Structure 1
Amino acid sequence: MKLITWNTQWCRGVDGKVDPARIVNHARAFADFDVLCLQEIANNFPDPRLAGSRGENQFAELSTRLAEYAAVPGAIIDVPDEKGGRRHFGNMIFSRYPVGQVFRHLLPYPVDPGVNGMPRIALEAIVSTPFGDVRVITTHLEYYGKKKRIAQVEALRTIYAEGSGHARFGTIVDTEGGPFHTRLRPQATIITGDFNLEPDDPLHARMLEPFDDGTPPLADAWQVAHPVDPHPPTFKIYEKEEPDEPEQHCDFIFVSADLASRVRDVRIDLKTQASDHQPVYLELA
């Protein structure tokens, strides 16, 4: 299984050009991916609302350009425009494998007076891989406010643990095919995206902490594949607000304990400038 995660900055490159086709082309050049997790996908947010955008429906355009993949959209921003239409902003998952149940988890958005922010989502799709079903969860945590980010990390741990509980202890109750039809969750889980925190942030350590209820812990896939190598930068390499602004290392892939032994490769495309973030690749076998 080959997976790429990428914060696309609404498909806006370092050159200021918004180009969904370029995102697809660069992702395909990076790897022959089976699953693609994208953050910051937009619809109907023309410049100046999102710099460089024509208001294009990126959810639809990306789905067309990746027609051989199952498309799973997850818009967390869903607001009216001035003409009776809607504007959307959020994440997407594309899967070459069959997609089962889909969950759109609203992450906490606690009040933090005077601190900018926006609602966040954890988009989950159950994908049927050659080695069994896997929960693929992609997210984009709060950029401005640590209070929100702390709450969102705790929510991710809860979402993971809840699904793990269903995998370990769930039983088939209803097989009638209706809304109450029992769909058991797999233990195997990938949580990926832009976490807006550094590898030495206590919140990163929190993602890896053991659980009190017997839930198997998560592992950072980069650390599994490269135990002695520091995590390369994934943000602010080529596009900086200030010339001396440091590079950041904020895009991660966490895997459940049962998948850690399957990690074969994790790497980062440090060359592409199709976004202000760099894509991260995971290979499981």
Structure 2
Amino acid sequence: MQIVSYNIQYSLGQDGCYDLDRVIDAVRDADVICLQEVERNWRRTSMTDQPALIQARLPDRYVAYGSPFDADASHCDEAGRLVNRRRQFGQMTISRWPIRAARAHILPKLDTGARLNLVTGALETVIAGPNGPLRLFNLHLSDASTEERLMQIEHLMSLLCRTAREGGIWNGSEGDPGHWQTDDPPPMPAEAILLGDFNAEPGSLEYLAVTLGALAKYEDGTKNGAERCPFYDSWVAAGHHGKPGITYRRNPSQSAYWDQRLDYCFLPPSLVPALTAARIDEAAIGSDHQPVWVELKG
């Protein structure tokens, strides 16, 4: 099974051109594709619906889209009729197998005043994989500050810690199953893969918060009573320790003055033995980020 994560920067490539075809061509062979910065109704991309365009390019795949950013983009047509539109910016998960459940989570955000800072999120999906249900969080952490990213990671860990208490997106049954269609609730595995753009480098506080297995908290601030398991950086676990693995190249125009590794696939302990390879596609030029690939048995 091949899984890829790619922050596509709304299809703006390293040559300054918008080209959704080359974005999809770079990842279409993967079994599970997790994209970040996919948008609808922005002027820079000609008010197009990128989720619909992507789905049209991969017509044999299952898709889910979640947008934490949602603003008005309505207009009146030539006849003066109101056309309702939403300006969105989020994550898209694409799979060869059915996506049994999906939830879009809004991550905590701080007011940064004059500095641009958008609400970001995580698209959680449960995929009917060949070896059983696979749970993923396709996420995009803030680029505003370490403080904000740590808040967001703590929120994600709290979601994972609540899994056993919370269950899936529904449970139980209703007297009229034909009305509610509750005959086959999707599963909710306790463990999950975290992948996407973390906007933090290896060794950072954010990286350590994911990999060291710190205590998570409930939303009321109390400890959950059990230490959570650490996540494993697939790049390191696959034998690339000490190799830079660049996913975001030097870009002074965006205040990036050195090559960085900002994009990851973090695995729970149960999936580390299944990891067979991890790589970064250095040839892709469809975005300011590089696709991150992992291969798992099965």
Per the normalisation by structure 2, the TM-score is 0.84
Alignment of 1:193 onto 2:205: no
Percentage of matched positions with identical amino acids: 28
* TM-align CA RMSD: 2.4
Contact 2:229 2:269 in 1 (8 A): yes
Query: Corresponding residue for 2:158?
Result: 158
- Mapped to 2, the partners of 1:243 and 1:102 lie a distance apart of 34
Alignment of 1:236 onto 2:228: no
Counterpart of 1:266 (choices 275, 278, 284) is: 278
- Residue 244 of structure 1 deviates from its aligned partner by 8.4
Alignment of 1:38 onto 2:35: yes
Per the normalisation by structure 1, the TM-score is 0.87
Letter in 2 for 1:79: A
- Mapped to 1, the partners of 2:244 and 2:181 lie a distance apart of 43
Contact 1:263 1:283 in 2 (8 A): yes
Classify 1:249/1:82 alpha carbon distance in 2 versus 1 (closer, same or farther; 3 Å): same
Gaps in structure 2 of 5+ consecutive residues: 76-82, 216-224
Letter in 2 for 1:34: D
Query: Corresponding residue for 1:50?
Result: none
Alignment of 1:50-65 (within 5 A): 53-65=45-57
- Mapped to 2, the partners of 1:8 and 1:208 lie a distance apart of 25
Alignment of 1:4 onto 2:4: yes
Alignment of 1:204 onto 2:207: yes
- Residue 240 of structure 1 deviates from its aligned partner by 4.1
- Residue 263 of structure 1 deviates from its aligned partner by 0.7
- Residue 54 of structure 1 deviates from its aligned partner by 1.9
Gaps in structure 1 of 5+ consecutive residues: 48-52
- Residue 201 of structure 1 deviates from its aligned partner by 0.3
Classify 1:272/1:240 alpha carbon distance in 2 versus 1 (closer, same or farther; 3 Å): farther
SS at match of 2:52: helix
Letter in 1 for 2:229: P
Deviates more, 1:85-94 or 1:223-232: 223-232
| 1:218-270 Cα distance to aligned partner (Å, 9 max, x none) | 11111111253334110125x54279821111001111110111111110011
Deviates more, 1:107-116 or 1:87-96: 107-116
Larger Rg: 2
- Residue 76 of structure 1 deviates from its aligned partner by 1.6
Deviates more, 1:208-217 or 1:133-142: 208-217
Query: Corresponding residue for 1:101?
Result: 101
- Residue 163 of structure 1 deviates from its aligned partner by 2.7
| 1:158-198 Cα distance to aligned partner (Å, 9 max, x none) | 1222236667xx9x961445488754411341110000000
- Mapped to 1, the partners of 2:110 and 2:135 lie a distance apart of 26
Contact 1:90 1:121 in 2 (8 A): yes
Classify 1:180/1:20 alpha carbon distance in 2 versus 1 (closer, same or farther; 3 Å): same
Query: Corresponding residue for 2:229?
Result: 216
Alignment of 1:95-174 (within 5 A): 95-163=95-163, 174=172
Contact 1:164 1:215 in 2 (8 A): no
